[in-house]
């Protein structure tokens, strides 16, 4: 068990001496010597003396410092340090950290393997392909599924054959996942397999294949879908009716008219919606009738049909919290400001501790949102569901941009005043992107908010990034250095690939908690400019800050000097 560690030590020392031979300055050699001995503080003290003498940073030397630090984190047995090392290696976007992520795949910890694989595929291109192929041989099914997803996403030439081979090795219960992978690969061979899966004896697999073909716009599948729609299977008829509308199949109108008379409400609604998509506007009346008897799926459908905003508004006055929620969301999608009084229940967290979970119809073509009270308790064993609820609220906040600017800014003001910290990163990003004078004034106002450091510093960061004149750079440096002793880098739950399309994108698939994200974004903003002081702040945090954080910060250092 000692040999791998010994090999890494010899390799690292050899690399270090190779660098020594290329470096003229004895001081620079000594910096690297101290780093190899694990004396980061002494190494960076000496480095800063060199900077004081030269008045500039040595990016080549800093790269070696960052790589040595990450290599040391890689060789530790502390799971937390290993996680932060992988995060740093992924953030670095430096080809020289590739082997670190490869080593993460060899960890006995499946979660660390999964994170390494995800970061590897996201951070590198061709270099990662061999590693992804090797990951398909893993003993962990979760790793093989993630590798299959990444191969499909990259359109790898062997993606389809690898995915098909894996499909036949896993239990039938997992087969419904595979049409999504084949559709993502997207070549002719992949869609031939999807066509075969539409005849699978596994009903869930058939439904998934039908939906994936339609989502890809494959109208050449229509004859087969019409046949499946004629078979007496409730779930299958529902999804087929829905996708016939998606694919604008006019030949299916007689069949859809028949399905619109079904005694099963989900089939009826899917068929009515398809007829509407095909230009039969009178089909809306059936959807409205279902909404008036408080069918929640009908409310969601009305969100995409113009002309029924007043109906939605009247129904939003229902005593049912679920009906009120879904009517409000549909009004918001229509850009109707009458949704405003109800948005507070969605965006503001209070003593009720509400979460929102998507509920699908039997055929999974329709959905509505249901409410989970006491979410931290009721979803304690399902962190992914809670994370998706937060992401749903973020998406609602994004959609408020379609309302008049005054309404959006009023919502932003309430979120700031009520200190809705889980939405603050998203909110500040939106204000930063809007960049109107009123949005900037709002950021300036809450950059002064007493007793709310997260809000104050997020607003300060946005103003700094927007290059607004003011003390924002100095404020940012001061706050970052104040946090250097805290162990702040903590991550939100890692979501499996099949759920990631439901959440807002993030530059890293490991999404930091709000305060951690602020710290990382602040370091990155300071370092990205490659100015002297910004990198000095980052080095100060590595040298004298919390020693657990330094491995992730080493990745930021490497990123900043590219």
Distance, CA of 540 to CA of 544 (rounded, Å): 6
Phi, psi for residue 503 in degrees, rounded to 5: -125, 160
Q: What is the pLDDT of residue 145?
A: 93
The closest of 45, 44, 43, 18 to 33, measured between CA atoms, is 43
In tens, the pLDDT along 135-158 reads 898 888 988 999 999 999 999 999
Poorest-confidence range of 175-179, 233-237, 274-278, 475-479? 475-479
In the chain, what's the furthest Cα-to-Cα distance? Answer: 86
pLDDT band at 219 (very low <50, low <70, confident <90, very high): very high
Residues 6 or more apart in contact with residue 560 via CB below 8 angstroms: 524, 527, 528, 530, 534, 535, 538
Poorest-confidence range of 45-54, 237-246, 393-402, 405-414? 45-54
The closest of 467, 458, 480, 499 to 539, measured between CA atoms, is 480
Phi, psi for residue 358 in degrees, rounded to 5: -75, 130
Q: Is residue 260 within 8 Å of residue 384, measured between CB atoms?
A: no
The alpha carbon of 151 is separated from its chain's Cα centroid by a whole number of angstroms, namely 18
In tens, the pLDDT along 314-325 reads 989 888 999 999
Helices 532-544 and 550-560 pack at an angle, to 10 degrees, of: 160
Q: What is the pLDDT of residue 12?
A: 46
Q: Is residue 426 within 8 Å of residue 516, measured between CB atoms?
A: no
Domain ranges of the chain: 404-470
In tens, the pLDDT along 425-442 reads 999 999 999 999 999 999
Helices 178-185 and 188-197 pack at an angle, to 10 degrees, of: 160
pLDDT band at 276 (very low <50, low <70, confident <90, very high): very high
**This prediction's pTM:** 0.84
Q: What is the pLDDT of residue 382?
A: 86
Distance, CA of 241 to CA of 64 (rounded, Å): 60
Q: What is the pLDDT of residue 514?
A: 60
Give the residue-averaged pLDDT of 210-229: 96
């Amino acid at each position: 068990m000692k040999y791998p560690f010994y090999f890494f030590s010899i390799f690292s020392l050899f690399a270090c001496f190779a660098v020594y031979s290329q470096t003229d300055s004895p001081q620079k050699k000594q910096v690297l010597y101290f780093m190899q001995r694990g004396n980061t503080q002494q190494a960076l003290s000496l480095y800063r003396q060199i900077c004081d003498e030269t008045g500039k940073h040595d990016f080549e030397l800093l790269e070696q410092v960052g790589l040595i630090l990450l290599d040391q984190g890689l060789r530790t047995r502390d799971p937390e340090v290993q996680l932060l090392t992988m995060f740093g290696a992924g953030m670095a976007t430096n080809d020289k950290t590739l082997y670190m992520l490869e080593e993460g795949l060899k960890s006995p910890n499946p979660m660390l393997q999964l994170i390494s694989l995800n970061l590897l595929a996201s951070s590198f291109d061709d270099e990662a392909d061999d590693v992804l192929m090797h990951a398909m041989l893993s003993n962990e099914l979760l790793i093989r599924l993630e590798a299959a997803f990444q191969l499909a996403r990259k359109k790898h030439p062997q993606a389809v054959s690898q995915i098909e081979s894996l499909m036949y090795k896993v239990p039938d219960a997992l087969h419904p996942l595979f049409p999504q992978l084949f559709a993502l690969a997207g070549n002719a061979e992949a869609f031939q397999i999807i066509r075969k899966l539409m005849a699978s004896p596994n009903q869930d697999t058939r439904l998934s294949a039908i939906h994936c073909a339609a989502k890809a716009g494959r109208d050449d599948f229509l004859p087969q879908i019409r046949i499946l729609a004629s078979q007496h299977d409730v779930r299958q008829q529902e999804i087929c009716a829905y996708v016939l509308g998606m694919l604008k199949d006019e030949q299916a109108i007689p069949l859809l008219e028949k399905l619109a008379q079904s005694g099963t409400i989900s089939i009826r609604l899917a068929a009515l919606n398809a007829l509407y998509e095909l230009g039969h506007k009178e089909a809306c009346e059936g959807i409205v009738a279902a909404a008036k008897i408080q069918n929640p799926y009908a409310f969601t459908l009305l969100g995409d049909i113009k002309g029924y905003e007043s109906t939605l508004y009247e129904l939003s006055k229902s005593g049912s919290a679920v009906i009120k929620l879904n009517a409000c969301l549909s009004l918001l999608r229509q850009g109707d400001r009458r949704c405003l009084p109800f948005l507070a229940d969605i965006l503001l967290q209070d003593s009720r501790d509400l979460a929102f979970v998507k509920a699908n119809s039997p055929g999974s073509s329709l959905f509505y949102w249901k409410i989970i009270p006491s979410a931290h308790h009721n979803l304690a064993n399902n962190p992914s569901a809670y994370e998706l609820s937060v992401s749903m609220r973020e998406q609602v906040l994004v959609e408020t941009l379609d309302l008049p600017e005054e309404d959006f800014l009023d919502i932003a003001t309430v979120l700031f005043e009520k200190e809705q910290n889980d939405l603050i990163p998203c909110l500040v990003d939106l204000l930063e992107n809007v960049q109107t004078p009123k949005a900037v004034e709002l950021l300036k106002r809450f950059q002064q908010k007493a007793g709310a450091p997260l809000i104050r510093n997020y607003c300060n960061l946005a103003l700094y990034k927007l290059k607004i004149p003011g003390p924002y750079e100095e404020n940012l440096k001061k706050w970052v250095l104040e946090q250097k002793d805290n162990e702040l880098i903590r991550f939100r739950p890692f979501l499996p690939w099949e759920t990631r399309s439901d959440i807002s994108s993030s530059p890293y698939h490991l999404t930091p908690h709000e305060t951690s994200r602020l710290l990382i974004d602040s370091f990155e903003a300071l370092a990205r400019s490659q100015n002297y002081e910004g990198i000095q702040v980052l080095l100060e945090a590595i040298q004298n800050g919390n020693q657990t954080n330094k491995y992730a910060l080493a990745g930021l250092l490497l990123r900043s000097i590219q």
